[in-house]
Amino acid sequence: MVKLTEQMKEDIKKVRVLPLATCSKSGIPNVIPIGISEIVEKDGNDHIHVMNNFFLKTIANINENPKVALYIWSPETSGCIQIKGDVVNITDKGKEYDNFVGKAKEAKPGLPGKQLVDIKITDVFNCKSGETAGQKIL
């Protein structure tokens, strides 16, 4: 069970673009910018929702290998973290999808809002330079 701290949640909200990394089954990496995300709690664990608007290699990679990573840093954040997680659901219907696509389209009209991608957070690492760089936080 991984629960982000309130500071981590605030930092995620401050970052305008979250890099999302995926990797194919054969080991080919891919990184894309995510402009709309939200943190939700399910069964005592934090999840990050991202919207598939234009995923091509990303969705192919997730279908082959559900492991993903996000990098959280900007000049406005209190530090730098890397979040690792598992994609546990991809959907284009239901209440969660409807709520999230509504928020996404309100923020950025014209986006297709194809699918909600639900990432269960499994680990959080420090990526701020120094002695604790790379160490697991959660």
pLDDT band, residue 1 (cuts 50/70/90): confident
pTM given for the model: 0.95
List pLDDT tens digits, range 80-118: 999 999 999 999 999 999 999 999 989 889 999 999 999
Cβ neighbours for 119, distance < 8 A, ≥ 6 positions apart: 47, 48, 49, 50, 68, 70, 85, 86, 87, 88
**Collapsing DSSP states into helix, strand and coil, what is residue 133?**
coil
> Tell me, what's the pLDDT at 20?
98
Domain ranges of the chain: 6-126
- Does the domain spanning 6-126 belong to CATH 3.40.50.720? no
Among all chains, which residue has been given the structure tokens 């930092």? 11
List pLDDT tens digits, range 25-42: 999 999 999 998 999 999
Q: Are 47 and 41 in contact (CB under 8 A)?
A: yes
- Largest Cα–Cα separation, the chain: 45
> Tell me, what's the pLDDT at 6?
97
| Per-chain mean pLDDT for the chain | 95
